[in-house]
Structures are given as C-alpha cells and as structure tokens.
Chain A
Amino acid sequence: MTAPIVSIIIPVFNGERHLGEALASLEEEPGFQLDIVIVDDGSTDRSLDIVSEISRRDQRLRIIRGPHRGVAAARNVGVQAAEGEFVTFLDCDDVCPRGRIARQLGKLLANPEVAYVVGQTLLFEQLDDAQCPWPGSRSVSMLLPTLHCALFRRGVFSQFGLFDEELAFSEDLDFFFRLAEHDKQALVEAEIASLYRRHDGNMTRNGRAIRTSTLQVLNKSIARRRAMGRRKPLDLFFVQHQEAETLFGRPPSDDARDRSEAGTQ
C-alpha cells in the first residue's frame, strides 16, 4: 500500500535567520511521504538562496515564489498546491518536534471521524539538540489556536475554505472558529506538537493589532452564526486546559439527529 502523503506548508518572508533550523527539523520519518511546500512571500533577504541550497539535496522540497501578500495568502497558495491528503504547517522561524507528524497522522488514520488533531505548543527562546528548552532560557507550554500544532485532513479546506486574507493577524483563530461553528471533531492531544520560537521579529508581538484582529474574528463568527441560525455555544478547544487527550466537537451522528429533528433531511 502506498504511504499517505502529508503536505507541510511553510510560508517564508525574510526568514533567513531561522529557516535552516526549521527545515532541518523535518527529518525523514517512516510511514508517510512528506511534501514540503515552501511559499516565498516576496522575501528580500537570503531566504530563497537558503531554500534553493537545501532543495538541491532534499527532493521533498518544492518552492513557490510570489510577491509579498501576507501570511494568510501565502498559506492559501501552499494549501492549493498541496499534494497530500493531509495538511499541516510550519512557520519559518519555528521547529517541528521529532515524530510529531507521524504521531498525529496515526491518530487521524485511527479516527476517521476526526477532522484534525491538535497538540500543545511549547514557546521557547532556545533549544538544545534534544529539542528541550536550553537550561535557564524561558519557555512555556500551552494549548494555542495555531496552525503549526495541528494536522488537518485536506478535505477540511475544500469544505470550509481557505484562510481569510482580509485578516492581518488571527487568520488561524478565524479558521478554528469556522471549524467549531460546524462542530468539526478535533482530537486535542497532550503532547507537544509545535516548538514556537519567541524572538525580536515575531509577528505576534504586536498586542494591539492582535486584539483588533481578534475582535474582527469574533465579528465575522457572530455574523456567520447569525446567518446560519446557530445559537448553541461553540466547543472551542483552545479555551480549556487539557491534561489528557480529549475529543472536541460532536460526532456526525449528532448532526444527523439535529437535521432529523429540524425536519431537514
């Protein structure tokens, strides 16, 4: 049987500082083929040179170049170019934990009703060779609505659309809201699924802009729920602390029951 293909989308904008480390974390793993889709979002530094150099010895890499349009647009280009039936993400300044993709893929394959698996995010300043925070450096582990801690079935994107390019920030939060509005089942795991570097250049340091885009996400979600007549609260995985693996969203049988009760077969 052919091994499943997992596409990992890496948007890059002037990421020369940590890009090599990010790509080096995508080691060959048994059980699946990795389709690495680098979407260069108009970098003006040495990012493309670094990727080109690595792609000469790593046939799994594909490079898509384009003008600077923002991270949501870059991710959308990547999703549209993805060859895998499963899709995940990595930012060019972050690190993929060893074994993360294989572990999450195993959970998706074992649970056909689950749309995506999401794990914990470890925010760090510096890692050692074992991918552990450097002694004395700052780190914290938490459950965040970020794309690089999740593995999705590709069908999720064809069913619910791509990332909202209107949003300067929080397009990931918006995407998770859309899935929750439709009660798509998510398996939340206790393991670390993302190594998220905090540094001077993080986009997510602009607190005021993030708060504004968060309100924009809420506004869009409220409008969608109003349009679909949904009154039931969302089952949002990232607002609760999880000590153990937990299933969010409702099984498809509940949806069928609701449709039946509403008389809309």
Chain B
Amino acid sequence: MVVAAADIGILEVSTPDCVANDFDGEIVALNLSSGVYWSLRDLAAALWRDVTSGHNPVAIADRLAQINSNLAHESHLIIANLVNAGLLRPCGTSPVALEGSETVARAEAGEIAFSVESYEDMKDLILADPVHDTEEHLGWPVIRNDNGVGA
C-alpha cells in the first residue's frame, strides 16, 4: 500500500526489516527484505533524526512551509518515500515538541538541501541472506524463497 504524506503521523524505524546507522551525520538505512539501501544527508538526515526521535513530520513540514514552500514539499515527499520503502512506519506514540527539531533549526539557518540517494544493487538479496539472520541465536543464515520471505 502506498502511503500519502498527509496520512503519516508519528513514525519509527521499521525494525527488524530496516537497519540504520548515523555515520558522522549521514544516515545509511538498509531494508533487509528488499535489499535496497539509502543514504540521507543534509536536511534529509536531520529529518530522519527528527522523525525517529518522535517529531511529527506533518508539524515539521508545516513549519518549513513558513520558511520555504519547496522545503515543505520535499520533506513530505521524502517521508512518504521512506515509509513506502519500508524504512519507517507509523507508531502510536505522542509527538515531541517542535522546538527541538533539527530540521527546522537548520532550515531557519538557511540550509535548503535534502540529499537522498538510494541504491538497488543488492536488490536481489532474496535467496541467500547472510545479513538478515533471524536465527541469530543459532547462527544459521536464512534461506529465503522467491518472494523474499524466510523459508
């Protein structure tokens, strides 16, 4: 199901399918089910940090719209893409106060770049998956079927 930006509330990282890490400000996120991995830098990385720490993406976009309507549009688009890519998912927690938003602070300071790249060269990682090890305690890799599901 494709999620529209307006439907998105508070988000969290889609564990266990998504693993992500912050490398000196650059977010690298990998969807272990699809094999697609993403790099987020600049405001896109700030937006990831904001939404994964409980900021409401719609509230951030509303505030960005007051600075620059393009920023609001881009933030909506990125969040929708990250949700549709299976990296983020809605959750039921309460939002944190907008004042602490890194994205808003950096946009107010004049930043405008949302740098997002995705890589599909591990997309066929469906049959033998040495990374997505659901039998972690046993140490055996998962052999997955053609639908990408652990068999």
Contact = CB atoms under 8 A, between A and B. Distances in A.
Contacts of A156: none
Contact of B119 (A144, A214, A222): A222
Contacts of A205: 136-137, 139
A219 interface: yes
Interface in A160-215: 198, 202, 204-205, 207-208, 210-212, 214-215
Nearest to A204: B139
A219 B25 CA distance: 11
A236 interface: yes
A109 interface: no
A123 B121 contact: no
A143 B39 CA distance: 26
Contacts of A208: 136
Interface in B10-34: 19-21, 23, 26, 28, 30
A236 B21 CA distance: 22
A216 B131 CA distance: 13
Contacts of A214: 19, 30, 131
A240 interface: yes
B141 A123 contact: yes
Contacts of A234: 121
B120 A212 contact: no
B140 A222 contact: no
B23 A211 contact: no
Contacts, number: 77
B27 to A, nearest CB: 9
A239 interface: yes
Interface string B103-142: 0000000000000010111111101101101001111110
A250 B26 CA distance: 31
A248 to B, nearest CB: 12
A222 B136 CA distance: 27
Given A212-B19, A233-B119, A239-B125, 17 more contacts: A123-B141, A142-B127, A142-B128, A143-B128, A144-B141, A207-B133, A208-B136, A211-B19, A211-B131, A212-B21, A214-B19, A215-B21, A218-B30, A222-B39, A235-B121, A238-B128, A239-B121
Q: Which 8 A-B pairs have the closest CB atoms?
A: A142-B128, A207-B136, A205-B139, A233-B121, A234-B121, A241-B127, A215-B21, A239-B125
Interface of A: 123, 138, 140, 142-145, 198, 202, 204-205, 207-208, 210-212, 214-216, 218-219, 222, 233-236, 238-241
11 contacts: A123-B140, A142-B127, A142-B130, A144-B130, A198-B139, A202-B139, A210-B130, A216-B23, A222-B117, A233-B120, A238-B128
